[in-house]
Amino acid sequence: MNSLEILDNDSMTEVKLLPTVIEITSQERRMIKDAAEHLEKKYGSYENRDFIKHVHQMASYFLPERILHIAADFASDFSKNQYGALIFQGLMDIDQELLGTTPPNWQSADYSKFNLYGFACALIHGALPSKPVQYYSQRKGGGLIHAIIPDEKMRETQTGSGSATDLYVHTEDAFLKHQADFLSFMYVRNEEQVPSTLYSIRSHKSIGENYRPLFDRIYKIPKDANLETGESEEEALDSVLYGNNKLPFMRFDAAEQLFNPSIKQSDDAHQCLAEFWDEARHLIYSGFTPQAGDVILVNNHLCAHGRSAFRAGVRNIDGIEYACERRIMLRMMSKVSLIDMRAHTLTEDPFFVIEEHLGKNFQHL
């Protein structure tokens, strides 16, 4: 079910793996909206633990059959043809007027406006099945959904709030042992027409002998720009590739592992990473521009994500610049197993992850 694009070069035919695009039909969109509205009436908020605990059953009961099948296949397909990203086009209708003006930053967003969308995203994760969780390392938890909004004060940073510089491709929270298994990005507004950026480990023709050292635990995996640097960080090492040797998973963050000036990899580690990046950077895909209502679902072990630089609040049409509303994207993260990461969740809340860095927890929680 993956998209394969045939590229005809002069002398050879190359098959390029692409994320799978699923166009949601109007009937399916109606079913999802009805489900979200029904669940909102019953549970109030998508944060309600009674809803989240039952999210798998709710997904089976309410989601269209086709989407259930696609989600289940995606969750357990790690094959060479699995890109690791699904694009659901038109999953929800977004009422732009109800949304109002984009707030200046995520801190001032009114989350009640995202409530229905939160239910819809949670159902998609539930169908995998995977459980929506929150991470202390991201916004001190901050709930099951994070609104990603360009913030003028943060425009130069390598964070979701940045805009002026390219956000290098990365797997989310590469510095955690128990990083999210799946991520969803729901675009509720993208008037600037910023393309999404994806990069799949499966896009490499093969992971041959030259990449064998990427399975060694010799790499510094620094925390990202959202976080302060801890002193023990330099000592913690891990591998970039893991899982199956032929068809591996990855924990990769180009900005932090290769270009963070305060982190010095060993010569061997740096050389391997640089060679890997030299191939990887040509495999980045930015051919899809999400529209309001689209959702990108990512397997965070197979596929990295990022974003090109853009000017927030400016839309360019045929070379003429127009003012527009700034972008809003809603991110949800999920884990397949609450049991595997129990040593890294709050005593009273197994949905709240308190891992700080590669198996070490935040001490004050």
Total of chain residues touching Fe ion, rule CB under 5 A: 1
The DSSP secondary-structure symbol of 204 reads: S
Query: Among residues 90 and 132, whose Cβ is nearest to Fe ion?
Result: 132
Task: Tell me how far, at minimum, the Cβ of 155 lies from Fe ion, in Å.
Answer: 16
Q: Tell how strand 20-23 and strand 85-89 pair up.
A: parallel
Task: Tell me how far, at minimum, the Cβ of 170 lies from Fe ion, in Å.
Answer: 6
Q: Is 356 annotated as a binding residue?
A: no
Q: How many residues does the chain have?
A: 365
Task: Tell me how far, at minimum, the Cβ of 173 lies from Fe ion, in Å.
Answer: 8
Task: Tell me how far, at minimum, the Cβ of 148 lies from Fe ion, in Å.
Answer: 8
Task: Show contacts of 59-65: CB within 8 Å, 24+ apart.
Answer: 59/123, 59/124, 59/126, 59/127, 59/129, 60/127, 62/31, 62/32, 62/34, 62/35, 62/38, 62/123, 63/31, 63/32, 63/35, 63/123, 63/124, 63/127, 64/27, 64/28, 64/31, 64/32
Query: Among residues 172 and 191, whose Cβ is nearest to Fe ion?
Result: 172
Q: Considering only 165-173, 273-281, 293-301, 341-349, which stretch makes contact with Fe ion by CB under 5 A?
A: 165-173
Residue environment code for 279-316, b if the CB has 16+ CB neighbours within 10 A, otherwise e: ebeebbbeebebebbbbbbbbbbbbbbbbeebebbebe
Task: Show contacts of 339-344: CB within 8 Å, 24+ apart.
Answer: 340/178, 341/178, 344/177, 344/178
Q: Please give the single-letter amino acid code of residue 337.
A: S
Query: Among residues 162 and 248, whose Cβ is nearest to Fe ion?
Result: 162
CA distances from 337 to 60, 128, 313, 345 (A): 18, 12, 39, 12
Task: Tell me how far, at minimum, the Cβ of 355 lies from Fe ion, in Å.
Answer: 16
Q: Considering only 21-29, 166-174, 231-239, 289-297, which stretch makes contact with Fe ion by CB under 5 A?
A: 166-174
Burial of 264 (0-12, 13-18, 19+ CB in 10 A): exposed
Query: Among residues 172 and 355, whose Cβ is nearest to Fe ion?
Result: 172
Radius of gyration (Cα) for the chain, nearest Å? 20
Query: Among residues 62 and 252, whose Cβ is nearest to Fe ion?
Result: 252
Query: Among residues 172 and 256, whose Cβ is nearest to Fe ion?
Result: 172
Q: Considering only 23-31, 171-179, 275-283, 294-302, which stretch makes contact with Fe ion by CB under 5 A?
A: 171-179
342: Cβ–Cβ under 8 A, 6 or more apart, which residues? 350
The DSSP secondary-structure symbol of 81 reads: T
Q: Considering only 75-83, 169-177, 228-236, 294-302, which stretch makes contact with Fe ion by CB under 5 A?
A: 169-177
Task: Tell me how far, at minimum, the Cβ of 331 lies from Fe ion, in Å.
Answer: 7
Structure tokens at 346: 């709050």
Task: Tell me how far, at minimum, the Cβ of 162 lies from Fe ion, in Å.
Answer: 11
Task: Tell me how far, at minimum, the Cβ of 306 lies from Fe ion, in Å.
Answer: 7
Structure tokens at 336: 């397949």
Query: Among residues 196 and 239, whose Cβ is nearest to Fe ion?
Result: 196
Q: Is 65 annotated as a binding residue?
A: no
Site string for Fe ion, 172-211 (x = CB under 5 A): x---------------------------------------
Binding to Fe ion in span 105-134, by CB under 5 A: none
Q: Considering only 84-92, 170-178, 288-296, 341-349, which stretch makes contact with Fe ion by CB under 5 A?
A: 170-178
Q: Tell how strand 248-250 and strand 241-243 pair up.
A: antiparallel
Which residue of the chain is nearest Fe ion when measured via CB? 172
Query: Among residues 207 and 284, whose Cβ is nearest to Fe ion?
Result: 284
Mark the binding-site residues for Fe cation, compressed into ranges: 170, 172
Annotated binding site: 170, 172
Contact positions vs Fe ion (CB under 5 A): 172
